[in-house]
Amino acid sequence: MDARARIARLFAAAGWRRRGLAAALGVAAAGALPPVHLLPLAFAAFSGLLLTLRAAAAERPAAAFWIGWWFGAGFHVAGLYWIANALLIEWQRVGWMIPFAVFGLSAFLAVFVGGACYAVRRAGGGTLAGAFFLAALWTLAEIVRGTVLTGFPWNLIATVWVETETVLQLAAIGGAYGVSALSVLLFALPATLRARPILAGAAGLALAVGFGAWRLAENPARDVPDVRLRLVQPVVPQALKWDPEAREANLERTIALSRSPGLETRTHVIWGETATSFPIWGDDHPRFVERRRQVAQAAPPDGVLIVGAVRVESDAAGGIAAWNSFHAIDSRARMLANYDKHHLVPFGEYVPFRGILPIDKVVPGSLDFSAGPGVATVRVPGLPPLSPSICYEIVFPGRAVDAADRPGLIVNLTNDSWFGYSAGPFQHFAAAKLRAVEEGVPVVRAAGGGISGIVDPFGRVTARLGLEQIGVLDANLPVAATATPFARFGAGIAAVGLAMLMLCGFWIAKRSKIDGD
């Protein structure tokens, strides 16, 4: 028995052994994601997945679906375990959701992986053709899960490269989905157990590294003149954020941090999502006006404060509506700009089918948030036109900026205190890096708790406050790059790439002798 046959036998398990193997391979794939970044695990995982599918080629196509489903379940449970942390903060009220939020969500997301593997099986061909099919169909599954039911494009395979800035430059061309497709192809090629495909993959990776190195060298860091930022990270424990007895102290602490030495040298101070748990804009109520004056103490003397807060207004029916908002105010408490979050978190900020599901949302309070009108470019004095982004709005490829009114930066306000010291905040910051490279604009990310930082339009982190690090970050604003191919053409480039991968797979399948199976 030669080496190829012995390796093939390792993946020829059945029953629970096969399911356990597929789930373990999915967990291994998650090990390549932030914050672990063990890239060799991605090669083992996707090559193992393809070999397991190949071993089941003589069985019904449904077998391929279940191999993919178990792989996807392992991948998502290992990658999304941290969601449970948010539900443990008020475990008496929402702790019962943990099995649904972690295992239920992972089981649902695994359906997309199962569907991709089913389609790989139906497409036919040997292992080399299967590598091309898997790359295209896995990425198509990422696109679909990032779209249906409001979408959840978390932990795209492209994310494994966020610490490899040279390879990350490919996102400027094909976006995260294009990088995912090429990555899965690269990771699956060792399954062919043939020298030529593996060497071709290595050569392709070398070309990507070379292209990225050239692009970074040709675009040294440059700063926007006369913009001096201060990002404030108070790290208020989530359990105390909305506590009536702690809210005032939390706000005063954030103001004091903002006013620490050097404020007079800053032009803009930026707070995170819902950094003040008191509304400061909405109905013209004296309480809101007074709170706005209090918050304005954190603004530079002749500058601007950007702050996340809940906006509250009376609706036409005499009730109350609330938005998760971005405000810009000056030191005289004048409101300069506003943006309302439009992509809300299901069950976190609102309950879908509220009339059918009589349950609480995770964020305290019985009132669901209302959605804003959509992606926008706003003008804040002293800054280039900017695209506000609140919390997980930053994870959606191609939906971070208004292409018709291109901004000079993305300002992402977030609060990852929900998730404690876990993989979640690292994965969230990684998504921000991908958006910067895709759009060719810097991302300024202020986290009330989590990771604050500034990413230039090439994915280089120019300044950063680490997870759970209390303090302020004084830094400059990088200059935006020219519009990238992805910014110009969007997902069209990735769509063409997926079609080419499928055509290559069919061509190889027809010439099965090339595959060697």
- The DSSP code for 145 is H
Catalytic residue among 391, 393, 433, 439: 391
361 is catalytic: no
Q: Residue 30 belongs to what H/E stretch?
A: helix 15-30
3-state SS of 41-57 is HHHHHHHHHHHHHHHCC
- The DSSP code for 364 is S
From CA 261, how far away is CA 388, in angstroms rounded?
A: 27
The CA-based angle 409-410-413, given to 5 degrees, is 140
From CA 32, how far away is CA 34, in angstroms rounded?
A: 7
From CA 42, how far away is CA 29, in angstroms rounded?
A: 5
- The DSSP code for 480 is P
From CA 514, how far away is CA 308, in angstroms rounded?
A: 57
3-state SS of 297-341 is HHCCCCCEEEEEEEEEEECCCCCEEEEEEEEEEECCCCEEEEEEC
User: Is the Cβ–Cβ distance between 358 and 368 less than 8 Å?
Assistant: no
Residue 501: both structure tokens together: 């991968």
Catalytic residue among 117, 142, 241, 273: 273
Catalytic residue among 241, 341, 361, 433: 341
Residue 483: both structure tokens together: 């519009």
117 is catalytic: no
At a CB cut-off of 8 Å and minimum separation 6, what does 174 contact? 181, 182, 485, 486, 493, 494, 497
Look at residues 171, 154, 216 and name the one whose alpha carbon lies nearest to residue 487: 171
341 is catalytic: yes
User: Is the Cβ–Cβ distance between 48 and 192 less than 8 Å?
Assistant: no
What type of residue is 150? Answer: T
The catalytic residue positions are 273, 341, 391
